[in-house]
Amino acid sequence: MNYQQILNEIFKELKSGDNLGYVASYIPELAKINPDNFGIHLTTIDKKEFKVGEWDTKFSIQSIAKVFALSQAYQLVGDKIWERVDVEPSGTSFNSLVQLESNHGIPRNPFMNAGAMVVCDILISKLDNPEEDFLSFLRDLTPLGEISYSETIAKSEKAVGYRNIALCNFLKSYGNLENNPDRVLDFYFNICSIEMSCQELSFAFLYLANDDFRSSRNLQVLSMSQAKRVNALMQTCGFYDESGEFAFRVGLPGKSGVGGGIIAIHPDKYCIAVWSPRLNEKGNSYRGMQFLELFTTRTESSIF
């Protein structure tokens, strides 16, 4: 399959078309990004690389970090994690409090904000130095460059993150947090503030594509069963209230972030990261969704 040529073609087509939607503005720092950035990086399981555009510019990975957090917590506590967070798609927006009320404090899945906060709570309880240890976990996955938190982004989000503060205290009121909500929020905002490039992301997620579920540094990250389950979760819940649409149009497990990044996994084949900051009305990258739909159609690589 001539991935590079297909990347180039679709990139060119979309570049010349409309770039609709808005850069996420609720986090003031994110609003400063140039909305016309557009990069793609694909890594195959045998580590061949294909890339186009701003593939090596770092951007705020935001909710994509939830997949890393889930993976590390899953590695640490195993299936006990599912006692505190469910595995069902939500049918509501990513920061809905309604769902949490009707499920008595059990988030529907680990990719909704509330679910990710429960995962953060587990990491805080289990890791000696949560911020450091989480970064080490990431560095093992992507030995390409320096990965770090963006204090500016984390602060910016915290200053106006009233809804996330509400969610986190709501979780605590149901007894589904061990740690103080302020601590959980700090960690949550920190991991969402991490900056990575498309290249770093497509390398980092190889552990979900490889058939031995090892990282690019050859560390075993998850068991086969665990990795398949993380993929299944991304397929059903990775795109907020557009998860069905993504499965329908793209046909790969994936996860998006409000920074405009999307990663998608083709088990046994490749991992692809796309970045374009303008978001559609459901909060997912406008060009990212378009790109991946065209890509899996032309490469006939939907998993379905």
Residue 86 within binding range of its own copies, rule CB under 8 A: yes
- Candidates 85-93, 127-135, 136-144, 212-220; binding stretch for its own copies (CB under 8 A): 85-93
CB atoms within 10 A of CB 157: 25
54 vs 242 by CB, closer to its own copies: 242
Tokens representing 92?
A: 């509501």
- Binding to its own copies (CB under 8 A) within 232-291 occurs at 232-233, 235-237, 241-245, 247-249, 251, 253, 267
- Candidates 11-19, 39-47, 65-73, 224-232; binding stretch for its own copies (CB under 8 A): 224-232
Q: Shortest approach of its own copies to residue 27 CB, angstroms? A: 13
Residue 210 within binding range of its own copies, rule CB under 8 A: no
Residue 300 within binding range of its own copies, rule CB under 8 A: yes
- CA distances to 23, 154, 156, 224 from 278, in Å: 5, 20, 19, 35
16 vs 225 by CB, closer to its own copies: 225
Kindly report each contact of residues 98-104 with a partner whose C-beta sits within 8 Å and lies 24 or more positions away, as own/partner.
Answer: 100/167, 100/170, 100/171, 100/174, 101/170, 104/174
Residue 129 within binding range of its own copies, rule CB under 8 A: no
Taking CB under 8 A as the criterion, the residue among 60, 62, 63, 96 binding its own copies is: 96
Residue 115 within binding range of its own copies, rule CB under 8 A: no
Q: Shortest approach of its own copies to residue 143 CB, angstroms? A: 26
Residue 228 within binding range of its own copies, rule CB under 8 A: yes
**Which are the catalytic amino acids?**
63, 66, 188, 240, 258
Q: Shortest approach of its own copies to residue 14 CB, angstroms? A: 19
Tokens representing 27?
A: 């986090």
Taking CB under 8 A as the criterion, the residue among 63, 90, 190, 193 binding its own copies is: 90
Amino acid making up residue 47: K
- Candidates 27-35, 135-143, 145-153, 169-177; binding stretch for its own copies (CB under 8 A): 169-177
In SS3 terms, the chain reads as: CCHHHHHHHHHHHHHCCCCCCEECCCCHHHHHCCCCCCEEEEEECCCCEEEEECCCCCEECHHHHHHHHHHHHHHHHHHHHHHCCCCCCCCCCCCCCHHHHHCCCCCCCCCCHHHHHHHHHHHHHHCCCHHHHHHHHHHHHCCCCCCECCHHHHHHHHHHCHHHHHHHHHHHHCCCCCCCHHHHHHHHHHHHCCEECHHHHHHHHHHHCCCCCECCCCCECCCHHHHHHHHHHHHHHCCHHHHHHHHHHCCCCEEECCCCEEEEEECCCEEEEEECCEECCCCCEHHHHHHHHHHHHHCCCCCC
Q: Shortest approach of its own copies to residue 45 CB, angstroms? A: 14
Taking CB under 8 A as the criterion, the residue among 101, 132, 151, 281 binding its own copies is: 101
Residue 163 within binding range of its own copies, rule CB under 8 A: yes
181 vs 259 by CB, closer to its own copies: 181
- Binding to its own copies (CB under 8 A) within 13-72 occurs at none
What does the binding site for its own copies look like in residue numbers (CB under 8 A)?
Answer: 86-92, 96-99, 101-102, 108-109, 162-163, 165-170, 172-173, 181, 224-225, 227-229, 231-233, 235-237, 241-245, 247-249, 251, 253, 267, 297, 300, 302-304
